[in-house]
Structure 1
């Protein structure tokens, strides 16, 4: 009983720290986006990829495309209960600057919507982008899925899941980049995640760790050195599961970052102080060479 009480208290502290960090991040994102240059991309806002209110995405078209015309699809974090595409202008800009088109999506949030709703939304967004690529003046031949925290779970689960999504675009995906992602954990009684999943279904029936299949996608799992929210075993376990199937996987720890700052350090005006952006760009060059 004493151990159970201690575990509950630790979970409550984690939840309080998470929401405190995200409130600070919300405030910081306004400043980051205000300081973000706007001359490296053309932007289309609030494109409807589905019928639900949050089935919307913002598209950042680079002014200097790479020859492969790669498309990054970015999925925000927020414990599946929080977050908005409007907070990630700096993500669109930082990769548009490097020759990538970038789609930043919203998705349905918990607790009103639980797994697999937010994963199905991602599949639907990718389908929309593919079906409308000529109209949008983009290519979907070289897609990079990128997500932070809960968004990293989503991008991994759109490929590795027990749910029948009829996902047709695995061959179009060149790389998946997960930043501080939870890929193998028990969400029951976890205050940050329990509202996003059916508590009657065990995590072994949900986590992408259990549904790895062989493919040619390159997987890059970035961990924050000082992450106090997502445990390291999530990335290490997934890396092992991918490797056992013969899939490419690379884990890297980004120094001087925490769970939230690992994504914030991608902003152009601070990225040169950290390894996050240049590490990802190196990985993406590797993935696009094949």
Structure 2
């Protein structure tokens, strides 16, 4: 019996290590981001790569400017996912194009990654980027009067945590944030020993002292929590719990389920190549119209 338990623990440890390895090395390329970006149309917007928003190497963003008149262009700040372990803004040019063609300016940011950098370093980076964008409107030829924060997976956690955090950030543009769109975000879970993202958090710090769920405060920002119907990585309870907490505090929140997509394919389905076949982008545009009306 003792040997069986020991063998089972060994097998479990091996599976966890394999899961960590696979997810750390998994990139959006695995389902075709190279093709998405390569085939993404280049009309209707301009792009400025590697704009520094801070002093460190990962303090960079790509800025997609719509061809619409400047004062009519809301600003989307997009934060990528990747279990806080990997990912890069260059993989998401299809996101910049998808919304720049609709009249939005889009800033796609990089941030510091685990395991070298753990919570709250990636929230620190987002706060820095938001303040930079607010301060640099004239230089960047953008308007930061109507800001939408958008993130996928870990990036959705980041955008929520920029507002709901144990140590609130001095965001210069806080009163300009009209909406937060979280795509398949983890907002309420115990990361202790988690095979995918344990290394992104201090394991000695209880999740109740980290998760944005526990720090929701009342405000006028509109929240849109998207879940992927076929998500097998982030449980739907994350968004359901967070939606309930937001409403309990008197905040505006919508819980939106997208059919026929999984955790990763959800973000790919926003691309102009695939958006006609899935409802993801249409639902996001509906949320944006609702938030900015």
Is the TM value for this pair above 0.5?
Answer: yes
Of 180, 190, 196, the residue aligned with 2:194 is 190
Residue correspondence of structure 1 range 76-91 to structure 2 within 5 A: 76-91=80-95
Of 277, 284, 287, the residue aligned with 2:288 is 284
Of 106, 112, 122, the residue aligned with 1:102 is 106
Using a 3 Å threshold, how does the CA distance of structure 1 residues 99 and 66 change in structure 2: closer, same or farther?
farther
Q: How far apart are the structure 1 equivalents of 2:136 and 2:263? A: 34
Residue correspondence of structure 1 range 14-29 to structure 2 within 5 A: 15=20, 18=23, 22-23=26-27, 25-26=29-30, 28-29=32-33
Q: Residue 38 of structure 1: CA displacement?
A: 0.6
- Residue 72 in structure 1 maps to residue 76 in structure 2: yes
Q: How far apart are the structure 2 equivalents of 1:166 and 1:177? A: 21
Residues 211-235 of structure 1, C-alpha deviation per residue, up to 9 Å, x if partnerless? 0000010100111111110011100
Q: Does the 8 Å CA contact 1:26/1:87 hold for their aligned counterparts?
A: no
Q: Residue 23 of structure 1: CA displacement?
A: 4.0
Residues 44-91 of structure 1, C-alpha deviation per residue, up to 9 Å, x if partnerless? 110100111100000000012586420000000001010000000100
Residue correspondence of structure 1 range 143-154 to structure 2 within 5 A: 143-154=147-158
Aligned match of 2:42? 38
Q: How far apart are the structure 2 equivalents of 1:224 and 1:288? A: 24
Q: What is the TM-score normalised by the length of structure 1?
A: 0.93
Q: For structure 2, list consecutive stretches of 5 or more residues without a partner in the other structure.
A: none
Aligned match of 1:133? 137
Q: Number of residue pairs matched?
A: 287
Across the aligned residues of Structure 1 and Structure 2, the Cα RMSD in angstroms comes to: 2.0
Aligned match of 1:250? 254
Q: Does the 8 Å CA contact 2:28/2:264 hold for their aligned counterparts?
A: no
- Residue 176 in structure 1 maps to residue 156 in structure 2: no
Q: How far apart are the structure 1 equivalents of 2:199 and 2:102? A: 37
- Residue 268 in structure 1 maps to residue 275 in structure 2: no
Q: Does the 8 Å CA contact 1:44/1:59 hold for their aligned counterparts?
A: yes
Q: Residue 19 of structure 1: CA displacement?
A: 5.1
1:268 aligns to what SS in structure 2? coil
Q: For structure 1, list consecutive stretches of 5 or more residues without a partner in the other structure.
A: none
2:273 aligns to what SS in structure 1? helix
Q: Does the 8 Å CA contact 1:221/1:235 hold for their aligned counterparts?
A: yes
Q: Does the 8 Å CA contact 1:14/1:229 hold for their aligned counterparts?
A: no
Q: How far apart are the structure 1 equivalents of 2:121 and 2:149? A: 18
Q: How far apart are the structure 1 equivalents of 2:117 and 2:142? A: 30
Aligned match of 2:124? 120
Q: Does the 8 Å CA contact 2:181/2:223 hold for their aligned counterparts?
A: yes
Aligned match of 1:111? 115
Q: How far apart are the structure 1 equivalents of 2:181 and 2:173? A: 16
Q: Does the 8 Å CA contact 2:28/2:91 hold for their aligned counterparts?
A: no
Q: What is the TM-score normalised by the length of structure 2?
A: 0.92
Q: Residue 25 of structure 1: CA displacement?
A: 3.2
Q: Residue 130 of structure 1: CA displacement?
A: 0.6
Q: How far apart are the structure 2 equivalents of 1:228 and 1:18? A: 13
Q: How far apart are the structure 2 equivalents of 1:229 and 1:9? A: 19
Residues 111-139 of structure 1, C-alpha deviation per residue, up to 9 Å, x if partnerless? 11111100010010010111000111101
Q: How far apart are the structure 1 equivalents of 2:119 and 2:272? A: 33
